[in-house]
Structure formats: C-alpha cells, structure tokens
Amino acid sequence: MSDMVAAGPVFLDAGESALVVEFGRSVDPALSDRVLALDAALAAAPPEGLRELVPTYRSLMIHYDPLRLDRARLVGLVEERLGAASADLRPGALWTIPCCYALPHGEDLAEMAALLGMPPERAADLHAAARYRIYMYGFSPGFTYLGGLPEPLAISRRARPRPPHDSKVVLVGGGLSAIASFAMPTGWYVVGRTPERLYAPEHRAAPACGRRHTSPSASQSWQWRSGRLPPAPPCCHAAGGAGPAARSPAVPAAPRDR
C-alpha cells in the first residue's frame, strides 16, 4: 500500500462514464483521508459534466458525462486537485451507540468468541471499548462499514448468509463491524443490538469518515427511541459496550449517521 501511495494513485476506467482513482489496496485511515480530501476538492468546484462522486475505503469513483467532460481532461483536473487537496480534514463528530450483548440480542457472541479462543465477556468488552471509523456507506441505505475493530476480534464472515435478521443488530465479520439499518440476510456474526435507528430519510446523509463508539448497556435500562437522531455533524466514530449481558457503546463525533 505504501509503495502505491508513494507512486501516486492509479486511474481505472469503470465503463465509459466513470473513472476510479485508486489510492491503495487496504482499509487504512491515511488512505481514507486522501480519498476524502480529493472528494472534497472536486465537490468544492465541480467541473462541468461531473455527475457524482462515490468515496470508498481506498478509492474515489467519479461518474461523469463523456459528452461534456473528456477523460483526459478529467484525469488532468484530478491530478491538479490532488496537488492542492489537503488531507487535514476537520474533526468528525463522535457518536455513542448503546448496545446490548446479552441474549437474545447477541445470539452469535458465544459462537464467535469460541472460534476466537476467548470468553464471550472478553469479546464483548473488546468490541465495546473500541472506536470505529465510518469508511463508507453501501449495501443498503444507512449501512455503514466501520473500521477500527480490535485485531483479536478479526474473523471471516460465515461461508453462507442466513435468513434476514432484524434491523439494529450489531455485526462483526471480515475484520469490520457494522450495524444493520434494515432487516436483511447476513453472513456477519450478530453480537448485539442497539435501540438506535441509523437510517432516517428525513435527515441529511452523513459523510464518510465518521467515528462511532459502542458502550455496554443493560437491556432493562434501554429506552427504545424510534427515530431519535442527533443533529448532522461532519464525521463519525463507533465503539462497543460492557459484558455480554449489558453494555452501552459510545462514539466520538464523526460523520453523521443516516
């Protein structure tokens, strides 16, 4: 990854009307900062013919109208903006997300912990204590991919997805964490559940690069708040909570949640 970054980004075509500017090949905060810096630089003064900017973990996809914006000119503009883009992004907001790891909410916690060779309480503690960075949105509205999962919790996703689970379940898999915004099939491990609603179409979308923190929370102390969302901030982090039975995650300011 460092060699690729040092050599500069790679320009890849995605059909006739999209250009992918790829900065590296891993999930890394430094790469994410470069992606978001270019995204911000292009959004601040979009050239005629630019249709949409789609930031991901390690690349920025630029959708454009080839009849109004030539590819060679677009590459030149990107290189020009890269030279002026600043990776010094403003601090994001930190959200604290309540999470209950006890059964029946954390239905896969014990299984995941056994595969990782640790007690369920340890797995819940590790997950609750971390701060997560929102790298990108995808798969479904409001679904955030959260980096920053503690290394001891790194586990592959299941070989086969299971039937749909409820929304608001807290997930772990593939070296990442996530929170389901809708009921959906999943190959991730379900380690808990939060009362927070992460997708609210009446609110503006949060930018990628946010942070979240999950904290343990006793299930009996939960107040299920439907639709309560904080004001839209610039960025987001997430973290987990206490033992499997009760925890309440806390997330520092970062990009806004859906």
132 or 6: which leads in pLDDT: 132
Mean pLDDT of 60-65: 98
- Both 125 and 79 in one domain: the answer is no
Residue 66: which domain range? 2-84
User: What's the pLDDT tens digit per position in 64-75?
Assistant: 999 999 999 999
Among residues 61, 84, 107, which one ends one of the domains?
84
Q: Tell me: do 72 and 167 sit in the same domain.
A: no
The predicted model scores a pTM of: 0.73
In this predicted structure, the answer to whether residue 148 has a pLDDT above a threshold of 50 is yes
> For residue 257, what pLDDT is reported?
32
Model pLDDT, residue 238: 38
Within-domain flag for 134: yes
Coil, helix or strand at residue 196 = coil
Which of 84, 107, 135 marks a domain boundary? Answer: 84
Residues in contact with 236: Cβ distance below 8 Å, sequence separation at least 6, in sequence order: 92, 93, 94, 95, 133, 134, 144, 206, 209, 210, 211, 212, 251, 253, 254, 255, 256, 257
Is the pLDDT at 113 greater than 60, yes or no?
yes
pLDDT of res. 136: 86
* 139 within some domain: yes
Note whether 80 and 99 are same-domain residues.
no
Residues 191-209 as b or e (16 or more Cβ within 10 Å = b):
bbbbbbbbbbeebeebbbb
Looking at the structure, tell me whether residues 174 and 122 fall in a common domain.
yes
Residues 125 and 25 in one domain: no
The answer on 208 and 173 residing in a single domain is yes
* Inter-residue contact 60 to 75 (CB < 8 Å): no
CATH number at residue 124: 2.40.100.10
- Both 25 and 116 in a single domain? no
89 is a domain residue: no
Same domain, 197 and 118: yes
**Domain C-terminal end among 84, 103, 135:** 84
- Predicted confidence at residue 203, as pLDDT, reads 67
Where residue 24 sits, what CATH number does that domain have?
3.30.1360.40
Higher pLDDT, 205 or 141: 141
* Mean pLDDT over each residue of the chain, to the nearest integer: 79
Does one domain contain both 103 and 219?
Answer: yes
Write out pLDDT tens, residues 196-249.
Answer: 888 877 766 555 544 555 555 433 333 332 233 333 222 223 333 333 344 444
pLDDT at 214: 54
pLDDT computed for residue 59 by the predictor: 95
On whether residue 234 sits in a domain, the answer given is: yes
- Give the side-chain half-sphere CA count within 13 A for 28: 14
**CA–centroid distance for 177 within its chain:** 8
Q: Are residues 50 and 101 in the same domain?
A: no
Residues 77 and 169 in one domain: no
Q: Per the structure, how many domains does the chain have?
A: 2
**29-27-78-93 Cα dihedral, nearest 10 degrees:** -40
Residues 127 and 242 in one domain: yes
Q: What integer pLDDT is reported at residue 179 of this predicted model?
A: 93
pLDDT in tens, 154-210: 999 998 998 888 899 999 999 999 999 999 899 999 999 999 888 877 766 555 544
